[in-house]
């Protein structure tokens, strides 16, 4: 079995892959101050709750955009899972060509997403990842990853509205029944969610137009992706498990070289 670790700015998502099936999921808040023993506690709890032991794990692969937690996280995996983790980077085989002035600056999450799209969809695609930031990554049918749009995430937008104003409260991120808010909270929810849907739709349409690729597939992922994807025809599908699946694909491409 393969343990996949998706370390993002807000959450760390752990998955267990048995072949291509995801048989366990676990999520914890990202804190760069955690020690390796704290991470080890969570890892052991995850395995126990899934009915597994460290001996059931053949390998561990990490996609991380948080460099500060990597020493403690990798140390915990070595100490408690007894495996040296594989770290997603542009140097691994992915099947895609990263076209960038600085390939090492491309986030591991974006490599994982575009690798999944290329190997799974077999067509050009835009992957919209609704995380702390929202990224729009385009990969061509030939596997060339060249273009990206990065916007503030839906959560950041809501937090900024509350924290940078004197009287506006924190709100639950959900779409109200109408864009016409009947009170302050509904008005904020309407502005944040309807406004965000509009921004996402515009960016996707403009990307397709400038790429001259109107038929490319648009797939959403990320924790808040479902909030938006259900409300627009510009997104073809929502898959919350792209990170796990993409890491499994990259692992399969490289495991023969890593033994």
Task: Point out the residues that are catalytic.
Answer: 109
- Assign 3-class secondary structure to the chain: CEEEEEECCCEEEEEEEECCEEEEEEEEECCCCCCHHHHHHHHHHHHHHCCCCHHHCCEEEEEECCHHHHHHHHHHHHHHHCCCCEECCCCCCCCCEECCCCHHHCCHHHHHHHHHHHHHHCCCEEEEEECCEEEEEEECCCCEEEEEEEEECHHHHHHHHHHCCCCCCCCCCCCCCCCCCCCHHHHHHHHHHHHHHHHHHHHHHHHHHHHCCCCCEEEEECCCHHHHHCCCCCCCEECCCHHHHHHHHHHHHHHHHHC
């Amino acid at each position: 079995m393969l343990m996949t670790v998706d370390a993002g700015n807000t959450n760390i998502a752990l998955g267990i892959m048995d072949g291509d099936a995801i048989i366990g999921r676990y999520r914890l808040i990202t804190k760069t101050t955690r020690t390796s023993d704290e991470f080890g506690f969570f890892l052991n709890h995850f395995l126990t709750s899934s009915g597994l032991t460290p001996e059931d794990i053949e390998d561990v692969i990490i996609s991380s955009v948080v460099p500060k937690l990597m020493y403690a996280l990798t140390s915990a995996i070595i100490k408690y899972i007894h495996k040296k983790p594989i770290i997603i980077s542009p140097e691994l085989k992915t099947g895609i060509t990263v076209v960038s002035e600085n390939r090492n600056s491309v986030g591991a999450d974006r490599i994982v997403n575009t690798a999944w799209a290329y190997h799974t969809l077999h067509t050009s695609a835009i992957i919209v990842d609704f995380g702390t930031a929202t990224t729009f990554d385009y990969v061509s049918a030939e596997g060339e990853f060249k273009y990206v749009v990065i916007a503030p995430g839906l959560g950041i937008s809501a937090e900024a509205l509350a924290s940078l104003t004197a009287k506006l409260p924190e709100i639950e991120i959900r779409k109200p029944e109408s864009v016409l808010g009947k009170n302050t909270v509904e008005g904020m929810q309407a502005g944040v969610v309807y406004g965000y849907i509009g921004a996402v739709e515009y960016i996707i349409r403009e990307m397709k137009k400038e790429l001259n690729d109107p038929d490319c597939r648009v797939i959403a992922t990320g924790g808040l992706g479902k909030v938006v994807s259900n409300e627009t025809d510009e997104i073809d599908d929502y898959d919350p498990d792209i990170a796990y699946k993409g890491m499994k694909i990259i692992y399969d491409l490289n495991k023969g070289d890593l033994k």
